[in-house]
Structure 1
């Protein structure tokens, strides 16, 4: 378990919080492992009727902690790499999951939302998937799911050009299910979770499973292809140059 992932249980809710606000909730390898374990473990937890996913502080997440992530050697079975375990757990998850997003949702901070059942975006938040600018490719089956959701041209704008977008655009393309006024994210999350918990639990789980069942195989297959490309790209000169430039700008 990572000290930067807070897991709380109560009243039928498994609450998962990215708790590294001093680093904008940038996700380390240890955090990926903790997130994967928590979401995969919910399947066998009868007390978990609902999962919520949040970020502490100003941002949902700044995405990968690049310095930490690059230490992870993508060798052997990719299924054992913590980030891929998390993505697989999200894709196969059968417990309704609600994400609440404020501030920045960068990279995997956006793509993981494709696997949440409901997404509440706070006004002023910013989604961005800068994979290509880092010499990488999309992950989380976003190269499949985003064109299906928003159309190929919109997907190209955000995956090829890496253009950011806000809460209203996320709602329009179907990535967000709700938009919360600034400062009212927690209140809307509480209302949505209360409404879900008031539903008959078995009917809700079965419906969530039905909503996902039509493309689980396609999502898993696309994730495998993306992961292989992603691992290969990490060793490329393009990625080394792009990440060196990133750290130089930050310095």
Structure 2
């Protein structure tokens, strides 16, 4: 069920960092093999409570789950989650951190922490209220019930629900469409939208103006304007 191990986490973080730095990468799809998307963190190697030193847990969360979610939010390329099955705990938060979320009809999202007597981690208490509001976030986290893909879409957690056999095809179509777009403009747009949730109007407007200033120096912005004037389809390079 793809429980996240330390090695898997570090590999995903590294791949997302590489994607940001590589102009040849224009979009990212995060998906899984097997019948589950991600069952949460792999707890088999967790130390017993008597073996912990105060500060160990906070450090582990900060350097582990929070870094993973931060890597998705900070990736400078659009990230699509293609959720093929159950996404529980950090697995659900990994999907919710993505820019666009596709889900198979059989997918489920579970805030499993309460079932284990745990507090949500991996940015869950940050992400969920911003996506669905505090009351619904509390309902999901307090009860830990499985949320079917169709209900997740109704709540705004999922962009589209498709048949299982259509998931990979749809994810590829979306990724290819994004890859043909103005990559730097998309990166700046992602940054503006994510930051707006924590910013006042003056800060958001200042960030918008700065993003426009940066973007207008890109080749793609010049190509977009030129193609409009010349009445042709733009050919973006991601630069």
With the length of structure 2 as denominator, give the TM-score of the two structures.
0.73
Preserved contact between residue 62 and residue 106 of structure 1 (Cα < 8 Å):
yes
Gaps of 5+ in 1: 1-23, 218-251
Instruction: Determine if the alignment matches structure 1 residue 54 to structure 2 residue 31.
Output: yes
- Cα distance in 2, alignment partners of residues 79 and 141 from structure 1: 10
Query: What is the CA RMSD across the aligned residues, in angstroms?
Result: 2.5
C-alpha displacement at 1:206, in angstroms?
2.1
Preserved contact between residue 119 and residue 177 of structure 1 (Cα < 8 Å):
yes
- Cα distance in 2, alignment partners of residues 76 and 190 from structure 1: 37
Larger Rg: 2
2:36 aligned counterpart, secondary structure: coil
Instruction: Determine if the alignment matches structure 1 residue 126 to structure 2 residue 108.
Output: yes
* 1:1-150 pair list within 5 angstroms: 24-70=1-47, 74=56, 77-78=59-60, 81-150=63-132
Preserved contact between residue 72 and residue 79 of structure 2 (Cα < 8 Å):
no
* Segment drifting more, 117-126 vs 190-199: 190-199
* Cα shift readout 1:4-26 (whole Å, capped 9, x = no counterpart): xxxxxxxxxxxxxxxxxxxx111
* Segment drifting more, 27-36 vs 74-83: 74-83
- Cα distance in 2, alignment partners of residues 61 and 137 from structure 1: 18
With the length of structure 1 as denominator, give the TM-score of the two structures.
0.70
- Cα distance in 2, alignment partners of residues 77 and 101 from structure 1: 29
C-alpha displacement at 1:144, in angstroms?
2.8
- Cα distance in 1, alignment partners of residues 189 and 137 from structure 2: 27
* 1:194-205 pair list within 5 angstroms: 194-205=176-187
Q: CA 1:69–1:52 in structure 2 vs 1: closer, same or farther (change >3 Å)?
A: farther
Q: CA 1:159–1:80 in structure 2 vs 1: closer, same or farther (change >3 Å)?
A: closer
C-alpha displacement at 1:149, in angstroms?
1.9
- Cα distance in 1, alignment partners of residues 32 and 105 from structure 2: 15
1:165 aligned counterpart, secondary structure: strand
2:136 aligned counterpart, secondary structure: helix
- Cα distance in 2, alignment partners of residues 111 and 55 from structure 1: 15
Aligned length: 195
* Cα shift readout 1:101-126 (whole Å, capped 9, x = no counterpart): 01211111101122100010000111
* Equivalent position of 1:186 in the other structure: 168
- Cα distance in 2, alignment partners of residues 75 and 114 from structure 1: 23
C-alpha displacement at 1:178, in angstroms?
1.3
